A and B are shown apart, each in its own frame.
Chain A
């Protein structure tokens, strides 16, 4: 130790002012680095990225609770009610009590609403898939799920009614949550879309129960949103259906291609040297019959000096003249999409 002190003092004694600038510069840069980066804290515990994890879990819970684990969520609510009761947020117990009082009137409305939702769903699905009876089962499942959700709605929805609100207000602090009620009661879709301002929650009281509460409200609003969306979707679906009907599906196109393949008989003996191609066009009648007089060559890369020009182009045109393809396997309800037909016939496969 003495030697170190000795060396240090010795160094200071021998310190040359000429190097002062260098030392100052070093010190200055180090200080800048320290300010920018800071001193490393080796005793600092590893970061647990809870904030990042929590939102993910919340999403999972919401997904689960909204579908299959509703009972669990209710249980969790019940467990949390004692603690939550004194808080400003709705508890499941409160809602249950309110449900008893307000079951009759609001339930009718709600059930009506539920039915309307379901029927709308059915209607929309019926439009989408008319002939599929299997959907009924699915719809039942959907209704079941909706009913599970509707119970929750029943619990909360009475609060949303103007009259019960007064009673409820006297019983519990649900002022904040009352905001969405009239929105649901009116069933005004546009208003539902414009959600009420998010409920202000004290951050210090944040826990799973409150989160579930929020999720529930969100679920309600989501359901309503969904209802609204479904209404909108139903309208838009009709439009989309019309639009979708215009275009042929892949399987429909594949079917007609398969049919045309059987009718495309290139002349045996035709020599294909390069990438010979012929584009033919035709108009198709509404009953899917090819108008023979409209079949024509639109384009080809084959020179007329090619000795096989006629053999190739005639065989291309003959594809639509073939009796097997006089009536094409096209969906009649999508006439607009195929009334004009263009076929690019590629001959390279003969070469290969």
Chain B
């Protein structure tokens, strides 16, 4: 009986198909998306609705994975769209996805509702509603962008993030360097320090509320500081007789890995500082210079660079100081390693043959590849989804002293979609914050 049942089930499960094809190739291109202005009954909110959709559109286009369809080509009006989309009208425009939404006013607050449609499948795939103050509309636009990005690509978004960097002004021999922060789309730019002292290597805390960096508050005595963005207060991390520099937060924000040059030892080593207890622990013990430590996402390992073999190479060591392993194998010198938020890759700066490169490799050192190259590129920083890198590029200084400006750039992990980040001043040492929502 069981036997017959099995056969019967097999027969039922077998569904014969006439034509069987295999597609092993396709076309990867930016996804066309139609982003309509948020509809509102209140005409005073029309401009706001337009601004929000504009920010969303710019965000998605900047990712390089989407292409916004020109609003002038839209057939269906926002009003009718708020009831039910006519998918055929959007298919004509070759839009694969459609974003429609409404905006309402609730006193000082606004409620924003959006729906993302799959035009081909003719169905809604995302629908969300947010309430916030009117001033916060830009952030809502970023959050909406993240939701769309995540739903369509499967990757986490990176739009509701900030960038902290070192703003540079003045001549080369007397450069003024101060901390600056802005949204990832260069909006809401502001300076955090006044430029009276030099700052270098700023890094975000996991909650994006604090920044650790190295500063020359006292001349010839650089120290690691922590800056609170909300309060504007800063404090020195630990009391060390020597120089502390190149700090980075652990993934939980409870520790900092940094380099410490002990005057008694004479060379710099990797240290971990517990921010709760203020106790520190030496991780490396070698006569060479070990710098630029970066935690793995689980904080169990640290990648750093060292010249213990004569040239600067990348090493991984466990947080307890055991199992040291060299991962870089190619020629050239490696600097500023940063562990990807995904944990699968390590970005680095490489110098070889008079050129600087931004490269990535897997954590075991395999599949090393360069994604950016210039006279001077340095200081890669990962986007929170681990898909993009930001770094700074310095132009060559010409014989008459002109040039030499440095700017921020972002690039896709594949080496495509390199974009210049517009900043009011020269910029270096960028750090990309984690998602803020």
Interface string of B61-88 (1 = CB under 8 A from A): 0011110000000000000000000000
Give the CA-CA distance A281 to B17 in the complex, in Å.
8
- Determine the main DSSP class of B at the interface with A: loop
The chain A residue sitting closest to B152, CB to CB, is: A267
> Which of chain B's residues have a CB closer than 8 A to the CB of A187?
none
Within 8 A of A (CB), among B365-409: 387
Are B27's CB and A264's CB within 8 A? yes
> Which of chain B's residues have a CB closer than 8 A to the CB of A344?
20-23
> Which of chain B's residues have a CB closer than 8 A to the CB of A292?
122
**Stretch of A23-31, A123-131, A311-319 on the interface side:** A311-319
B-to-A contact residues, CB < 8 Å: 15-31, 63-66, 91, 94, 96, 118, 120-122, 125, 151-155, 387
Are A311's CB and B19's CB within 8 A? no
Are B19's CB and A261's CB within 8 A? no
Known: A321-B120, A345-B23. A269 touches B18 (CB 8 A): no
The chain B residue sitting closest to A257, CB to CB, is: B21
Give the CA-CA distance A298 to B28 in the complex, in Å.
23
> Which of chain B's residues have a CB closer than 8 A to the CB of A341?
17-19, 21
Are B91's CB and A342's CB within 8 A? no
Are A318's CB and B118's CB within 8 A? yes
Are A314's CB and B121's CB within 8 A? yes
A268: contacting residue among B15, B21, B64, B120, CB under 8 A: B64
Are B120's CB and A269's CB within 8 A? no
Known: A314-B118, A339-B18, A341-B17. A268 touches B153 (CB 8 A): yes
A248 adjacent to chain B (CB < 8 Å): yes
The chain B residue sitting closest to A262, CB to CB, is: B27
Within 8 A of B (CB), among A282-338: 292, 298, 307-312, 314, 317-319, 321-323, 330, 336-338
B19: contacting residue among A248, A321, A345, CB under 8 A: A248
A-to-B contact residues, CB < 8 Å: 248, 253, 256-257, 260-262, 264-271, 281, 292, 298, 307-312, 314, 317-319, 321-323, 330, 336-346, 348-350
27 A-B pairs whose Cβ atoms sit less than 8 Å apart in the complex: A265-B28, A265-B31, A266-B26, A266-B28, A267-B65, A268-B66, A269-B63, A281-B15, A292-B122, A308-B154, A310-B151, A311-B154, A318-B120, A318-B121, A319-B23, A319-B26, A323-B120, A340-B17, A341-B17, A343-B21, A344-B22, A345-B26, A346-B24, A349-B24, A349-B25, A349-B26, A350-B28
> Which of chain B's residues have a CB closer than 8 A to the CB of A266?
26, 28
Known: A265-B31, A268-B31, A318-B96. A307 touches B154 (CB 8 A): yes
Give the CA-CA distance A261 to B27 in the complex, in Å.
7
Give the shortest distance, in Å, between B30 (CB) and chain A (any CB): 6
The chain B residue sitting closest to A306, CB to CB, is: B154
Closest 5 CB pairs of A and B: A321-B120, A264-B26, A311-B154, A342-B17, A308-B154
Are A265's CB and B23's CB within 8 A? no
> Which of chain B's residues have a CB closer than 8 A to the CB of A330?
19
Give the shortest distance, in Å, between A255 (CB) and chain B (any CB): 11
Give the CA-CA distance A298 to B17 in the complex, in Å.
11
B28: contacting residue among A268, A318, A337, CB under 8 A: A268
Are B153's CB and A270's CB within 8 A? yes
Give the CA-CA distance A309 to B155 in the complex, in Å.
11
Known: A309-B154, A311-B152. A261 touches B96 (CB 8 A): no
> Which of chain A's residues have a CB closer than 8 A to the CB of B152?
267, 311
> Which of chain A's residues have a CB closer than 8 A to the CB of B155?
269, 271, 307-308
> Which of chain B's residues have a CB closer than 8 A to the CB of A268?
28-31, 64-66, 153
> Which of chain B's residues have a CB closer than 8 A to the CB of A256?
21
A337: contacting residue among B19, B94, B122, B387, CB under 8 A: B19
Give the CA-CA distance A270 to B153 in the complex, in Å.
6
> Which of chain A's residues have a CB closer than 8 A to the CB of B26?
261, 264-266, 319, 345, 349
Give the CA-CA distance A298 to B13 in the complex, in Å.
11
Known: A267-B153, A338-B18. A343 touches B23 (CB 8 A): yes
Given A260-B21, A268-B153, output 9 extra A-B contacts at Cβ < 8 Å: A261-B27, A264-B26, A264-B27, A342-B20, A343-B20, A343-B23, A344-B20, A346-B23, A346-B24
A261: contacting residue among B20, B25, B122, B125, CB under 8 A: B25
Are B16's CB and A340's CB within 8 A? yes
The chain A residue sitting closest to B386, CB to CB, is: A271
In this complex, the member of B20, B26, B63, B94 whose beta carbon has the largest number of chain A beta carbons within 10 angstroms is B26
The chain B residue sitting closest to A282, CB to CB, is: B17
Give the CA-CA distance A312 to B153 in the complex, in Å.
9
Give the shortest distance, in Å, between B311 (CB) and chain A (any CB): 33
Give the CA-CA distance A281 to B16 in the complex, in Å.
10
Are A267's CB and B31's CB within 8 A? yes
Are B154's CB and A269's CB within 8 A? yes
> Which of chain A's residues have a CB closer than 8 A to the CB of B118?
314, 318
> Which of chain A's residues have a CB closer than 8 A to the CB of B18?
336-341
Are B30's CB and A342's CB within 8 A? no
A269: contacting residue among B17, B19, B153, CB under 8 A: B153
> Which of chain A's residues have a CB closer than 8 A to the CB of B27?
261-262, 264-265
